[in-house]
Each structure stands twice: as C-alpha cells, then as structure tokens.
Chains A and B, each alone.
Chain A
Amino acid sequence: MFGVVLTDPGSEPPVGGWCDAQAYLRVHSGVRSIPTPHPFPDGLADALHAAYDRTRGTLAVLDIFDTDWLRQATAAVALFPLAPDPRVAALLRTRLADLGPRAARYALHLLVIAEAEGIDTAVPLTAIAQAVSTLYEEEVDGHVDLDAFHDGTAAAYSLLEARNPDPHLVLDEALQRCSGEPTVMLIAMAVSLAGDKGGDVLREAFCRAPRLWETPTLRLSMMPSQRVDTTSRGS
C-alpha cells in the first residue's frame, strides 16, 4: 500500500510527496498519519517494482520445496529481492542440501548476499559441501549446467569464506564425498581457506587419500617442498 499527497495537483509538474505506507506502519504502529517524505514522483515507480518483486518472491517461495528441480530454480531466482530477509536465509539453510544444481547455484548466491548483509545464515558445512556435489550432477534435461557448475562453485567458496570454517573440516567433507570433481573442488577450497597453511592441508589430503595424486590439478598444486613421499602412496 502506497500513498501520494499532492498539495498542488494542478501545477506542472504536480507538487507533492509519496510514501510506502505499509512499510511505514510496519515500523510505526498505531500512528494516525503517515508522512510522505519522498518528492513525487521521484523513485515511486522503482519502489512499486521492488514491491512487486518481493511479492513475486513470496508467491514463488513454496516451490523451493518442490521436487521438480526446474520449479526449485525458478523459485530461487524469484527470492533474490528477499535475500536480505533472515527468514529466507533460514529457509534456504534447511533446503540447500536438497536442491537441484541450478537451484543450488542460486541458493548459494542468496546465502552469500545474506551473509554480506550481516545475517548469520548458520548454514552447516555439510550442506554447503552437498550443494557443491549437486552442482556437478546432471540436470533433468540430462546435461550438466556449466554455468551452475562454475558460478555455483564460486558462490560456494564465497559462502565458505563468509562462514569461515576450519579448513580441516572442509577437507573432511571433501574426503567424505565419493571423489571426482566435487572432492577436488572442496579440497581446493580448503587449501585456499587455510591461507599460508594451505600446503599443510593439501599434504594432509594426499596422506589421507593417496589416489588424489592421480588428479593433475591437485598434483600441480604441490610445490616440490610440499610433496609427500609418493613411493608410499596406495592405489
């Protein structure tokens, strides 16, 4: 609900102001009048469009619970105008591990936005790791969505940076996955999160899972001084 007060509607342009009455009443309950501080029509159209976007997100939110991955993805996109709302973050926290690749990509971005807004999303590390694994799954159309793959992985890392978990716990999650690209990417994230101690994390990864040595990306990451004794690696 918006309001417009024109003190001189016959002038050109009309003189007056506008307000988002509903937003004002949400903060100031019980008042008998609502000020219209914004000069008409500056910003009114944008405010109305933003209100519609929030409404559309609210209408779409239930599809986050759908088992259809495409519906999930559509709902996740519609939630972007509501990303700074802690309730949306709480919703995504509970659903992140159960979303399809495209929806997971958008959900990770939404959670990054929430963290940037100062919301403690409290997303478990396990859910983020699961989302990274999901990004590499085939979509319902039988294809891996490369945009979801690349962009979602970057968002997952940004979320990890914001959550600041112990890199060794990230490594634990990586090694619990059934290998492949998700494991490699999670190990790379753990190494990066560890900063100066990234070499230690990588060395630990090779010790715990010697087959990783067959992964060129990780093998090249090892500086000569950091290399483990490859003669002792298992199969």
Chain B
Amino acid sequence: MSLVRARIDLPGYSSTQETETLGLLAVQRFLVRQGFKVTEVRGQFDDGLDLLLSPHDEANVLPAIAGIQVRSGRSHRALKSVDTNGTGVS
C-alpha cells in the first residue's frame, strides 16, 4: 500500500498555484485598466491560452479577440512554442 505524496499527488494542490494566479491577476488588472474586456480560459484546456481579450469601448463593436499566454515564476524566461502535440502558442 503506497502513501499519497501530498505535495505532489494531492488533488487540488499545486506548488505553483500562488505564483500562477498572481501572474494572471497582474496581467488581467493591467489589461482591464487599459480598457480591455478579459476572460480567463478554463484550465481544462491546457493549450497555452490563458486569457482572451477584446477591446471594450463604444467605438469597438466587432468581436475581435486576442489571446494571451501567461507564464509566471522565476523558472520561466520565455514562452513555449508549438510542439508536435499541438500544445503551446499557436
């Protein structure tokens, strides 16, 4: 009988949760203040797309959307590109 390794296996726990959330919030806060409408992409789609945004003012009524990948933490220096499985920035 093996023990659950809490720091690795416990469902709902992620050692990077705080860093990732702070990063997303920092980017969201900036974009909202700049007049964008920001929608966070649900985590079940791990395709490198974290935020969807569109301009949000009375002159912009087209459903133009841009995507943003946010990576947070000292281990990151660049974005991941597309790999053979199609994940990452496309």
Bound pair (A, B) = yes
- Main secondary structure, interface of A, reads mixed
Q: Is the CB of A21 within 8 A of B89?
A: yes
Contact A44 B78 (CB under 8 A): no
**B27 contacts A32, CB within 8 Å?**
no
A28 to chain B, nearest CB (A): 9
- B31 pairs with A33, CB closer than 8 A: no
Asked whether any CB of chain B lies closer than 8 Å to the CB of A56, the reply is yes
Size of interface on B: residues with Cβ below 8 Å to A: 37
As a 0/1 sequence over residues 12 to 46 of chain A, the CB contacts with chain B under 8 angstroms (1 = contact) are: 00101001011001000001111110001100110
Chain A nearest CB from B20 CB (Å) reads 8
A-B pairs with beta carbons under 8 A, tally: 113
Indicate whether B7 reaches chain A with its CB closer than 8 angstroms: no
> Does A55 interact with chain B (Cβ within 8 Å)?
yes
| A48 surroundings in chain B (CB, below 8 A) | 31, 34, 36, 53, 66
Q: Are B64 and A55 neighbours in the complex by a CB distance under 8 Å?
A: yes
Nearest to B77 among chain A residues (CB) is A5
Q: Which residue of B lies closest to A54 (CB)?
A: B64
B78 touches A1 (CB 8 A): no
A212–B69 alpha-carbon span in the complex (Å):
66
Pick the contact of A2: B34, B55, B68 (CB < 8 A). Answer: B68
Asked whether B83 is an interface residue with its Cβ less than 8 Å from the other chain, the reply is yes
Inside 8 A of A6's CB, which chain B residues have their CB? 22-23, 26-27, 70-73
Q: Which of B62, B64, B66 contacts A1 (CB 8 A)?
A: B66
Distance A1 CA – B81 CA, assembled complex (angstroms): 11
**Those 8 A-B pairs whose CB atoms lie nearest each other, nearest first:** A9-B23, A3-B79, A45-B34, A9-B22, A33-B78, A14-B26, A34-B79, A6-B23
